[in-house]
């Protein structure tokens, strides 16, 4: 989990995925040939965000690996397993404690566990993220994106520029 102090942007969201891959993913899944991401329908990783897709293209090119994305339809994030299986336990763990510093926030998140084996690893992202970045039609056309025939705005694969 990435905790940031700047803006929640598409660049921040993709950097969180990048950090997870380099710190955990490539070691946990050394034979992976693609990366699969489920994402909410709005916010920094919105299915409509051009910058989200452009940054995923940068990551796909960097990893030389296709990235498949499935977005939850708008208004359905309540069925997102992360909401129930992660955030609810973090919230219980810090209940009633003042979140006065990032060190306290990270400590409480990192000490979140369950009897079922949940262990949380949180890192502080100190980067400053610029808001209002626009992606041109030309940049969007350069994406190696293949939309799924079923709800292609929400389900797609971004291939690296081989």
Q: Residue 18 corresponds to which tokens in the numbers above? A: 């990048």
Q: Which helix (H) or strand (E) holds 35?
A: strand 35-39
Whether 80 shows a pLDDT value over 80: the answer reads no
pLDDT of 94 reads 87
| pLDDT tier, 95 (very low <50, low <70, confident <90, very high otherwise) | confident
Q: Is the pLDDT of residue 83 over 90?
A: no
Put simply, whether the predicted model's pTM sits higher than 0.85 gets the answer: yes
Q: What is the mean pLDDT of residues 125-142?
A: 94
Of residues 89 and 15, more confidently modeled: 15
Phi-psi group of 24: left, alpha or beta (phi > 0 → left; psi -120 to 50 → alpha; rest → beta): alpha
Per-residue confidence (pLDDT) for residue 148, from 0 to 100: 96
In this structure, the strands spanning 2-4 and 123-125 are parallel
Count of C-beta atoms within a 10 Å radius of residue 98: 7
- All residues at 6 or more sequence positions from 87 whose CB lies less than 8 Å from its CB, including other chains: none
> CB–CB of 54/135 below 8 Å?
yes
Q: Report the C-alpha gap between 30 and 153 in whole angstroms.
A: 30
Cα gap 158→133, rounded to integer Å: 20
Nearest to 41 by CA among 91, 78, 93, 85: 78
* Average pLDDT in the chain: 91
Tens-digit pLDDT profile for residues 22-48: 999 999 999 999 999 998 877 889 899
- pLDDT reported for residue 10: 93
């Amino acid at each position: 989990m990435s905790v940031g102090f700047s803006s929640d942007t598409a660049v921040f969201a993709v950097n969180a995925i990048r950090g997870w891959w380099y710190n955990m993913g490539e070691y946990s899944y050394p034979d992976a040939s693609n990366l699969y991401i489920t994402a909410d329908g709005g916010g920094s990783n919105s299915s409509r965000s051009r910058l989200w897709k452009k940054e995923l293209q940068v990551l796909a090119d960097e990893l030389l690996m296709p990235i498949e994305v499935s977005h939850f339809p708008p208004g359905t994030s309540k069925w997102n397993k992360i909401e129930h299986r992660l955030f609810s336990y973090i919230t219980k763990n810090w209940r009633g404690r003042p979140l006065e510093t990032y060190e306290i926030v990270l400590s409480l998140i990192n000490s979140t566990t369950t009897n079922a084996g949940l262990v949380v690893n949180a890192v502080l992202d100190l980067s400053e993220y610029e808001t209002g970045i626009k992606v041109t039609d030309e940049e969007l056309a350069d994406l190696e994106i293949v939309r799924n025939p079923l709800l292609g705005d929400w389900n797609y694969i971004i291939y690296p520029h081989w």
